[in-house]
Chains A and B, each alone.
Chain A
Amino acid sequence: MQHLETERIAAFDHEEPSSEELAHLAACTVCRTERNAFSALNQRSMHMGDAALYSPAPRLTNWESLSTRLRAEGLIAGEAPTAVVHTSNVSQPIAMESWWQRAKPRNNSEFVRVIAAVLVFTVTGAGINQMRKDRAASATAVGGTSTASIDLGLGLGNTGFASLDEATKALAQTERQIDRITTWITSNDPSATKSALLRKRLAALDRMIAAAYAESQTAPQDPVLDHYFHSAKAARELTLKQLGGALPVGRSLERF
């Protein structure tokens, strides 16, 4: 029996097999195995990018030298960095800084309220409305000494979406908001020095990532699994940075 050309089998995800080729596949175990192997290869290739994010390889750039050049080119403003800890990079001037500068809480109670707001935001994220009606979530300090107002853009009046496109856009916007909020929390978390707590969080996030990744192998196109995987990854990166900040000056921790 003449087997199908390997390159032809490699193209089956682009071009449907002909009826002759289908008949051959039905009868030939070798070619069927090859077709399955190519499917597996394609799946693995799709996840190569994710796997690379966990590489222990050192960073290709460092903020100190990069920021010097960015300043020289007039792309960023501000003084040259002086701190050497890994997390010193968090406070460098960047495009979205003004948002969390405005929203900075002043004590632990406010911080807890912000966390609560984020949790509510995350839990209800899948069902939130189309973000047209941004709503400010106020965080008032216990004791009445200070007040901070954070525009979370929640639009919690849930009436559904007009289309998949609209829901997808809302989800993307939500993810951007979560990125900003978690980044802000990272920069302002007063418990950042409690490394035991951070390590516990990190271990939990690792389990979440592993579970989402394992399940995505059988459902690679599932947007919910994908969302949880990437959210957990982002939270893991931020926790790592916080943990780095809890280490002595000059030390950083890339992995736990």
Chain B
Amino acid sequence: MLWNQHSAHVDAVVRRLAGDPDLAEDIAQEVWIQIFRALPSWRGDAKFSTWVHRVAVNRTLNALRSTRRQSTVETAIEEDSAFVEQDGERTMLAATIDDAARQLSPGARTVFLLHDVEGYTHEEIATELGITPGGSKSQLFKARAKLRRLLAPLMDMTEAGLTERSYAAP
């Protein structure tokens, strides 16, 4: 029941943060083991799904940290860069925010996902990733700017469509 009720949500969190399907599969089981281990520590002061979400995020970040991917995250943050490819930006049209986010550096991507999608504060992100809140903000704004650029064709087309519909003559 516990697994049934929350696995879709846990999968979504792990997939999003891991970014790599194979890695996500490896991490997901560890997340569930951690959830069951930590069950006695749930005090009922938060909604259970919120608690599961927190455990999933923390365990996924720990798993990422223990792989070489996390060292890439830290390097990317030090380099203060939002893009994976620093020489020459990709111009591939991203169909979704998720697609576009995959083109960010691991560090910027993690900060963006934690703040704008998962709702973490910069202080929480700083604690999780071992950076400063200012560094988290800086990464977030760079990530958003890059995402905006990657998604511009899609977003502008949508906006234009909406405008046409909104102002079309009867």
A172 lies within 8 A of B15 (CB): no
**Chain B: interface residue total (CB-CB under 8 A):** 48
Q: Give 1 or 0 for each of B129-170: 1 = CB within 8 Å of chain A CB.
A: 000000001001110110111011001100100000000000
Partner of A63, one of B3, B141, B155: B3
Q: Could you jot down 23 A-B contacts, CB within 8 Å?
A: A7-B144, A10-B148, A11-B141, A14-B137, A41-B97, A44-B97, A48-B117, A49-B117, A59-B7, A60-B14, A60-B28, A61-B3, A61-B7, A61-B11, A65-B29, A66-B32, A69-B33, A73-B36, A75-B36, A92-B3, A172-B46, A175-B47, A183-B1
Closest residue on chain B to residue A5 by CB atoms: B145
CB contact between B36 and one of A10, A44, A46, A70 (< 8 Å): that residue: A70
A176-B48 contact given A10-B141, A183-B1, CB 8 Å threshold: yes
A contact residues, range: 35 or more
Task: Please measure, in the bound complex, the distance between the C-alpha atom of A82 and the C-alpha atom of B12, giving whole angstroms.
Answer: 28
B128 within 8 A of A: no
- Residue B5 at the A interface, CB < 8 A? yes
A14–B134 CA distance with the chains assembled, in angstroms? 12
Interchain CB contact under 8 A, B3 and A49: no
A186 to chain B, nearest CB (A): 9
A53→B137 CA distance, assembly (Å): 28
Question: Could you tell me if A176 and B47 are in contact, using CB atoms closer than 8 angstroms?
Answer: yes
**Chain B residues with Cβ under 8 A from A45's Cβ?**
97, 112, 116-117
Closest chain B residue, CB of each to CB of A169:
B45
Find A48's partner among B16, B142, B156 (CB 8 Å cutoff). B16
> CA–CA, A200 to B167, complex, Å?
38
Min CB distance B8 to A, Å, is 5
| Closest chain A CB from B154 CB (angstroms) | 10
Q: From residue 34 to 56 of chain B, which have CB atoms closer than 8 A to chain A?
A: 36-37, 39, 46-48
Q: Which of A49, A65, A234 has the most CB of B within 10 A?
A: A49
B residues less than 8 Å from A96 (CB atoms): 1-2
CB proximity of B77 to chain A, nearest CB, Å: 16
Residue B90 at the chain A interface, CB threshold 8 Å: no
**CB-contact partner of B9 in A41, A53, A175, A179, under 8 A:** A53
Complex: how many Å from CA A61 to CA B11? Answer: 8
Give which listed residue, A37, A175, A179, contacts B155 with CB less than 8 A.
A37
Contact between A7 and B25, CB atoms less than 8 A apart: no
Q: How far is the CB of A54 from chain B (nearest CB, A)?
A: 9
